[in-house]
Amino acid sequence: MENEYGLIGYKLSHSFSQKYFTEKFRTDGIENSVYHLFELDSIYEFPALLQAHPNLKGLNVTIPYKEAIIPFLDELEPATARIGAVNVIKFDNGRLIGHNSDYQGFMQSLQHFYPCFPLSQALVLGTGGAAKAVIAALEYLNISYKVVSREKKPGHLTYEELTAGFMSSVSLIINATPVGTFPKEDEAPAIPYHLLSSHHYLYDLVYNPAETLFMKRGKEMGAKTINGYEMLCLQAEVAWQIWQS
């Protein structure tokens, strides 16, 4: 009987995970294991999914269910509880334990890309589950940050508030929104790109397309850029370690 793993989310046809884990099973000689894509129109379909797949050993969670999945779980790993978003579910003797490998994958990748110097200031675009994981990593690395949202919220900036003076004080800008993802690759977060320079580092969690419009426009102004592919690979390996622990 096969061990089943999978990804739950909405609109998964362009998912990275199935290809990654299928290849991992093959190259690492992991037998009797399969990775599925489970598209859910609503998070309330989750219990029926569990009943239909009794051999599930682990799940990944993606947009838009990283926060909505929490009430369906038995427990959250402590760091995940602080983050408030789940992207990995471990099946542990009938209990569902929520974990977050996004923040570890992002943190490892960021350390390869960005010189985390003292008094670094970051700008996090977005307020969803991915942004929460990014913020957890920044706090661990002692990088100060501001969050930008489309609507005015307490403690957050709006895109209209990104002045020339503020943009010059920021060195790292992280797109933690899905804006620019295929098939809407002609879109980009509404930051003032004309205020960017070689002083800036742009990290886009989007990985499809490989170079987003956010990255292209930043590169045109001399900024250094990276997409989310390395983060995805790193967080996937962390997820596998969680499932096997």
pTM of the predicted model over 0.75 = yes
Place of tokens 């010189």: 115
Q: Indicate if 32 and 136 belong to the same structural domain.
A: no
Q: Indicate if 90 and 145 belong to the same structural domain.
A: no
Neighbouring residues of 44: CB distance < 8 A, sequence distance ≥ 6: none
Minimum mean pLDDT range among 42-46, 116-120, 165-169:
116-120
Active site residues: 66
CB atoms within 10 A of CB 163: 12
- Please, which pLDDT band fits residue 116 given cuts at 50, 70 and 90? confident
Cα angle 233-34-44, degrees, rounded to a multiple of 5: 85
- pLDDT value of residue 119: 76
Q: Which of 60, 75, 99 is the last residue of a domain?
A: 99
Q: Indicate if 114 and 196 belong to the same structural domain.
A: yes
Q: Indicate if 92 and 116 belong to the same structural domain.
A: no
- pLDDT value of residue 112: 94
- Does some domain include residue 206? yes
Q: Which of 43, 69, 99 is the last residue of a domain?
A: 99
Q: Indicate if 85 and 132 belong to the same structural domain.
A: no
What phi and psi, each to the nearest 5 degrees, are found at residue 197? -155, -175
Task: Give the structural domain span for 204.
Answer: 103-231
- pLDDT value of residue 15: 80
Q: How many domains does the chain have?
A: 2
- Does some domain include residue 239? no
- pLDDT value of residue 152: 86
Rg of the chain's alpha carbons, rounded to an integer?
A: 18
The fraction of the chain above a pLDDT of 70, given in percent, is 100
